[in-house]
A and B are shown apart, each in its own frame.
Chain A
Amino acid sequence: MIKINHEKCVLCIGCASVCPFGAIELQGTRMKVNPEKCKNCGMCIRVCPADAISYAEEEKTKKEKAEAKE
């Protein structure tokens, strides 16, 4: 599953335009990922101009690593 960093997101909707599964949509003032449709292909990550999308698992691993260091 991918994760959108809403602080970095500039709401350009680029991710939604390249998502082959229609899994990302603008809802109100936020991009939302539909976990049932997302297939983890990463197209959105590659095209995001604001570096605001990542794999949720990666984020978790980074966090775990940081915690392990402490």
Chain B
Amino acid sequence: MKYDVIVIGAGPAGTTFARITAEKGMNVLVLDKRKELGEPVRCAEGLGRREVDIQGLILPKEVISTDIKGSRIVSPSGHELIWEDEEATGWVLERKMFDRWLAELAVEKGARIRTYTRVLDLIKENGKIKGVIASHQGEESYEIEADLVVSAEGMESIIARKAGFKTFSALSEVDTCYQYEMQPYNHRNLIELYLGNEIAKRGYVWVFPKGKNKANVGIGIGGHLTNAVKGGSLKGADPKILLDKFIKQSPELKDSSTLQDFGGVISVGAPIDEFVADNFMVIGTAARQVDPIHGGGIARSMEAARIAAGVAAEAKKKNDYSKKTLSEYEKIWRKGPGKILEKRLLFRKVLEKFSDADLDYIIKNITQEDLKDVMAGNFFRPVMKLLKGNPGLLKVLGALIS
């Protein structure tokens, strides 16, 4: 049987793409190498409400661990900035349940999903992609034909690489992360971020509220900032050591239990150079459509999937899956979300140059309104305000207003 589209990966990008294209009448097959969707969880499970609202989705109770009312950012010496408004709201998810729910929605719309099915390679005829070679449960491989293959593979993105995309991330473009689910922690429904070069080099410690009195407590640090000894033995960055140190020093967490350990590597770099080829698209984290400040990928993945699905449905109408037709997705993405992520990448690069004293000064002196502007990429007003009080910051902040 031939499909209109085969999607590789049943994470939020893949299942969102499948749901929308199936709804538009496409014949969709999603393949996922995992035995069980949503496992293993390897993220902080935060999701803002914007993209969910755009897609008209209503999250059922079982996928929500707790509501988020805002954020709290803490400087190295303990100054705090709280951002609490509609824009800062969202959820901490039960990620496993969330992925499963998105998959079920796609199936309800007519998509077909196959778990424990690894895509080994692409079928190519005279250089043209015609489908995939897959294997269920590691058994004998078989071919499945399709007009369009979509990589929603996440960070590894092996098949996208086979299709010629440069989905490889340099160490400086990733953060390596460790996280515990902890209890008890009396949270205030705020996403909490602790900044500082001592706390987490090129990164931060996060405390995300979970359930009634639990939290995902994690750390991310620059992948290039490792303890590697030149010419000697390599030693990992070991974010776990820094996280344990943070927890030991936290009066609210030091005596809490850990319920689960998680690890992860997140992209904090730029999206890949190209998202489409003839009969092929790359969406979500595979394309590094990830927020470069916090590494969050769920909302951005769903957003890219929505845009790509619209373009794929048009391609089916025209029966034309050429790069030219599919590149409409790339155009729309780069003009919209891409512009925002570019500004946020610039901000991330400035952020990592701050000394602890800079961070203390800035967090002490900016307001919720300033922070909103910064997050939206409107740097000028907040930067001028900071420079007025502390002209020495020009060296690091200059890049934002030049």
Contact = CB atoms under 8 A, between A and B. Distances in A.
Given A13-B155, A13-B156, A14-B264, A49 B237 contact: yes
A28 to B, nearest CB: 7
A48 B263 CA distance: 8
Nearest to A29: B35
B169 A12 contact: no
A43 B172 CA distance: 11
A56 interface: no
- Place the interface of chain B in its size category: 35 or more
Given A12-B42, A55-B234, A49 B239 contact: yes
Contact of B226 (A13, A28, A29, A46): A46
B240 interface: yes
B223 interface: yes
A7 to B, nearest CB: 12
Interface stretch (B49-57, B173-181, B275-283): B173-181
Interface string A18-29: 101010011111
A47 B176 contact: yes
Contacts of B174: 14, 17-18, 47
Contact of A46 (B154, B155, B237, B263): B237
Interface string B158-178: 100100000011010010111
A1 interface: no
Contacts, number: 106
Given A46-B234, A51-B236, A58-B233, A12 B265 contact: yes
B265 A46 contact: no
Contacts of A20: 168
A11 B178 CA distance: 12
Interface residues of A, number: 29
Nearest to B239: A49
B16 to A, nearest CB: 21
B156 A25 contact: yes
Contact of B264 (A12, A28, A42, A51): A12
Nearest to A44: B236
Contacts of A45: 228, 234-236
Residue from the set A15, A46, A50 with the largest chain B CB neighbour count within 10 Å: A46
Interface string B219-258: 0000110101000011111111000000000000000000
A11 B168 CA distance: 19
Contact of B176 (A11, A27, A49): A49
- 10 smallest CB-CB distances across A and B, nearest first, come from A14-B265, A12-B263, A17-B155, A10-B263, A49-B263, A46-B226, A12-B264, A49-B178, A45-B234, A16-B156
Interface of A: 10-18, 20, 22, 25-29, 42-43, 45-51, 53-55, 58
Given A13-B155, A51-B238, 17 more contacts: A12-B40, A12-B42, A12-B265, A13-B265, A14-B176, A14-B265, A16-B155, A18-B169, A26-B33, A28-B138, A45-B235, A49-B176, A49-B265, A51-B236, A51-B240, A53-B236, A54-B234
14 contacts: A10-B42, A12-B265, A13-B42, A15-B265, A17-B156, A42-B228, A46-B171, A46-B226, A47-B223, A48-B236, A49-B177, A49-B238, A49-B264, A50-B261
